[in-house]
Amino acid sequence: MTLQKNLVQLAMITALTVTLSLLFIFPVPATNGFVTLCEVGIYTAAFLFGPIGGFWVGALSGGLIDLLSGYPQWIIFSVLIHGIQGGIAGYFFQKNWKYKNISGLILASLFMVVGYALATAFLYTWPAGVASIIGNIMQNVFGSGLTLMLISALRKINFPLMKEGPK
């Protein structure tokens, strides 16, 4: 597959991730923030394109979601946290062992939850950081579940990007 084709596909997944996240945005009053479904796009890109694709979709969508939803103070944190989250998931998805998908989702989710708790504590207070943990856990649980269902559906329809990739 050519580089241009991969870039277009990653850009489309990024656009879909941002759109999905802005359509379904759930406010969290305790932290004056929100919970989205961005993990679906990040984890799907990581599954289809590995750590590089997961990183770029995570970083770009995380930054764009914050920019478009009016939280510019979060952009640098979201770029780093969601980018590394997608990279971790993509790294594990490429491995060749039985529990790689679940392991990748758990470790990437853990990184995101801890990263946002620390970022919230830095930007606001440590009680706000602690309060953000539950919302971020829920975001990752729903995102991981939806991703596993999406990947299963893509396999069943022989989606072209699935090739001989992760099983």
Q: Each residue's pLDDT tens digit in the chain (167 positions)?
A: 588 888 888 999 999 999 988 888 777 666 666 778 899 999 999 998 999 999 999 999 999 999 998 889 999 999 999 999 999 999 998 888 888 888 899 999 999 999 999 999 999 999 989 988 988 898 898 889 888 898 888 888 877 666 544 44
The predicted model scores a pTM of: 0.87
Q: Does domain 3-162 have CATH number 1.10.1760.20?
A: yes
- Sort 47 into a burial class: Cβ within 10 Å, 0-12 / 13-18 / 19+: buried
Tally of residues, the chain: 167
> What residue segments make up the domains of the chain, in order of their start?
3-162
* Cβ–Cβ under 8 Å, residues 19 and 66: no
